[in-house]
Amino acid sequence: MKKELIFLGPPACGKGTQTSKLAEYMNFPHVDTGSLLRAAVKNKTPEGIEAESYMSKGKLVPVEVVAAIIKRRLSESDCSNGYVLDGFPRSLEQAQMLEQINKETDTEKAEFRAIYFDIDTELLIERIVNRKSCPKCGEIYNMKFKAPKDGVHCDKCKAELTQRKDDTEEIARARFETYYNETAPLTKYYEDKGVLRNIDANGTIEEVWERLLKAVND
């Protein structure tokens, strides 16, 4: 049966690392909304051209345009057995849009599941202020939990790591407040539908991975 998997959780909870690994493990496409949007702009798809008209002016891309880009991607043949969707939905409105997209793109019965990464906020603060990334390949590191071998350069492409200017405690706490106000209501929405699975996202990458596999397959 086709599996449709989405992931909920506050910033820096580990979704990106785990969903990328899960997609490879299950041989599903990892549909990352941010990367998808940038690719649509680069490839000048109709939706990408429209999105760029907003981005070039520093404006947010309307959710309808983002949804159209996602629909186009989920309609492709490699999503026929399932997908791992990262970064969407982030609101109840977007959740309803995704339901409509699935109805229109599903060619067989599908199992939809929302997985919530439950984690201590103070641990997340510590993760964020210690986070660095590779400007070349995008690999993410944490100087305390997942440091590069030499402490300075990316293990994969050897570029010098950088840190986002907004990876500060003050900004992180503001982002959490926004998340809990706007996105957290999705957990109740999916819980009421009986498709939500909670996993304890505290612990090592390997520990969380085992919990994730159980949540996906139970």
Nearest-angstrom CA–CA distance, 137 and 127:
20
Token readout for 193 is: 């539908």
CATH number for the 2-29+76-119+183-217 domain, one of 3.30.450.40, 3.40.50.300, 3.40.50.880, 3.40.470.10?
Answer: 3.40.50.300
Active site residue 113: no
From 90, 146, 173, 197, active-site residue: 90
From 144, 156, 164, 193, active-site residue: 164
Cα three-residue angle 16-173-30, rounded to 5 degrees:
10
Give Cβ neighbours of residue 210 (< 8 Å, ≥ 6 apart).
none
* pLDDT score of 124: 85
Active site residue 197: no
pLDDT at 171 over 90: no
Active site residue 211: no
CA distances from 139 to 15, 19, 132 (A): 14, 14, 9
DSSP per-residue codes, 1-23? -EEEEEEE--TTSSHHHHHHHHH
- pTM listed for this prediction: 0.79
Q: What are the start-end ranges of the H helices in 56-164? A: 63-74, 92-105, 121-129
The per-residue pLDDT for range 16-63, each reduced to its tens digit, is 889 989 999 999 999 988 888 888 999 999 999 999 998 888 888 899
pLDDT at 101 over 90: yes
The per-residue pLDDT for range 116-147, each reduced to its tens digit, is 999 988 888 888 888 899 998 888 888 887 89
From 73, 113, 131, 132, active-site residue: 131
Amino acid, res. 176 = F
Nearest-angstrom CA–CA distance, 119 and 141:
18
From 15, 73, 132, 211, active-site residue: 15
Q: 144 exposed, middle or buried (CB, 10 Å; 0-12, 13-18, 19+)? A: exposed
Active site residue 127: no
DSSP H or E stretch at residue 176: helix 169-182
